[in-house]
Structure 1
Amino acid sequence: MKGLKGKVAIVTGGGRGIGKATCKTLVEYGVNVAIAEINDETGQQVESDLRAQGGDVCFIKTDIAQEESIAAMVARTVEQFGRVDILINNAVLFVPQGIEATAAEWETALRVNVIGYALCIKHCVAKMKAVGKGAIVNVSSNLAFVAQPDCLLYSTAKSALTCMTKSMAMELAPFHIRVNAVCPGTTWTELCEKYYWETMGLTRETADQHPQIGGAQLLKRVAEPIEIAEAIAFLASDSASFITAENLMVDGGYTAL
């Protein structure tokens, strides 16, 4: 990918799943990465693994539900690397509720999945303006565009993120800061593996074959985290220099059905 080597990126939720794969992918492209993660164990493990591979990385314990934690994350990144070029908004909270969700559950879901993303952008923008350009990639979902059972809170939050991505792109374009989103379909992360095993007794192979999971995709399988990470890296790179306000589907064709 063009223009990634030597850049500095913050990846929220970088301790597992798509975030972990994104940290690894960016390091392979020569990016210095701040692993922003609420879980000490997973964040430190990713930091250790990537340093062993020669990556210039640091783990920063971060709770994106708290603005002071976000501000500290950005300050620590600048202290470590001197700048911020790229923000990957990936941290997520999935609340599996439908119409019976309480006000507290709504507030929790929106606080992380919408407000947290907006505040991460807010605090990174000043640093990107100092550099003269920047790239922001929000990790959304194809469920921003299609409905599924027990996903009301999640889908609502991701739908808000779709419009926020476009609005932020418009607001930040004069400063040469691009804002895009990727919209993954079902991706075989640690959480996905645990969920499908505990609720349906499915392994990766049987999930791929299940008519409502892998079978629901045109490509007849679920995604690997690295496949989403490569799309994220593309949107963050200069290879996507004329792309902004885009919500890129990376869902195996699910939304085409």
Structure 2
Amino acid sequence: MRGLSGQSAIVTGGAQGIGRAVVDRLVEEGAHVLIADVNEEYGKAAVEEINARVGSPVTRFVRTDVSDEDSVERAVAAAVESFGGVRFLINCAAAFIMRGVEATVDEWRRVMDVNIMGQALCVKHSAPFMKAAGGGSIVNIASISGHIAQAGLMTYSTTKGAVVNMTRCMALELASDNIRVNAVNPGTVWNENNERFHREVLGMTREQADRDPEIGGRHLLGRTADPEEIAASVAFLLSAEASYITGTNLMVDAGYTAM
């Protein structure tokens, strides 16, 4: 896609799942990527594998807790040091705390600190470098959970609903700096976390989950998504192909929210 090659990106939560798929896609498109993640083992392994495959240091890992402002500042500084600036930011890091009305104060604080404050802090400290470069693009990962009610998921769904509107507010504030801000709203994605949940809690394989009317059947296409399918939508929104798109919440949910 046009406009990605040679650019510098930060991907939070980039060590696994959707974030890792985004990193792989951006590297494939010729970008340089800083992986900002709390999981040091997975982050370092991702950098080692990608750089060896490409044959050059196109990625770097910095252990990052997005809910900690100092940690975010260090990650942004590392991207500037390694790749000369920050042109793209993809906010994938999330706390998957899924609780209902019984949620504790600590659970509420953690999920809000990571899922809302974390995205806000990353934008706060990346945007000045995008402005200095003449513009940039930000993609926040929201969710179908931010648009619908789901039993037992109030903590998570509330934060994703906040991301939906925060994206619009960011787009409004940053448009004059030529920084576009959009969000991708995935349906059910078959990543490591979902695979483990369905296997350990529900006793399901992916094939069984896809056939289940309450899981795959909730999507018009009758299946869950591959992380790479979400990464493709992120790459599009970052690219020059989406130059007239900002403030948009793109549903990448196989029609889940259309029903």
When normalised by structure 2's length, the TM-score is 0.98
Q: Any stretches of 5+ residues in structure 2 without a counterpart? A: none
The RMSD of aligned alpha carbons is 0.7
Task: Pick which of 238-247 and 45-54 moved more.
Answer: 45-54
State the shift of 1:215 in Å: 1.1
2:144 aligned residue (128, 142, 152) = 142
1:185 aligned residue (184, 187, 201) = 187
Give 1:12's aligned residue.
Answer: 12
Give 1:243's aligned residue.
Answer: 245
Which residue type is aligned with residue 137 of structure 2?
A: A
* Partner Cα separation in structure 1 for residue 130 and residue 86 of structure 2: 6
Is it true that 1:157 corresponds to 2:159 in the alignment?
Answer: yes
Matched residue pairs, number?
A: 257
* Partner Cα separation in structure 2 for residue 71 and residue 27 of structure 1: 23
Is it true that 1:100 corresponds to 2:102 in the alignment?
Answer: yes
State the shift of 1:113 in Å: 0.3
Is it true that 1:34 corresponds to 2:34 in the alignment?
Answer: yes
State the shift of 1:45 in Å: 1.1
* Partner Cα separation in structure 1 for residue 67 and residue 4 of structure 2: 29
Output one character per residue of 1:137-169: Cα deviation in whole Å (capped at 9) or x when no partner: 000001111111111011100001111000000
Give 1:88's aligned residue.
Answer: 90
* Partner Cα separation in structure 1 for residue 4 and residue 15 of structure 2: 21
Output one character per residue of 1:56-97: Cα deviation in whole Å (capped at 9) or x when no partner: 110111010110000000001101111100000000001121
* Partner Cα separation in structure 1 for residue 103 and residue 142 of structure 2: 21
* Partner Cα separation in structure 1 for residue 133 and residue 242 of structure 2: 18
Residue 201 of structure 2 aligns to a residue whose secondary structure is helix
* Partner Cα separation in structure 2 for residue 191 and residue 137 of structure 1: 21
* Partner Cα separation in structure 1 for residue 119 and residue 169 of structure 2: 13
Q: Any stretches of 5+ residues in structure 1 without a counterpart? A: none
State the shift of 1:204 in Å: 0.9
* Partner Cα separation in structure 2 for residue 182 and residue 77 of structure 1: 23
* Partner Cα separation in structure 2 for residue 66 and residue 237 of structure 1: 29
Give 1:22's aligned residue.
Answer: 22
* Partner Cα separation in structure 2 for residue 234 and residue 53 of structure 1: 24
Is it true that 1:219 corresponds to 2:221 in the alignment?
Answer: yes
Which residue type is aligned with residue 234 of structure 1?
A: F
2:230 aligned residue (224, 228, 231) = 228
Which residue type is aligned with residue 46 of structure 1?
A: A
Output one character per residue of 1:161-218: Cα deviation in whole Å (capped at 9) or x when no partner: 1110000000000000000000000000000000111111011111111111111110
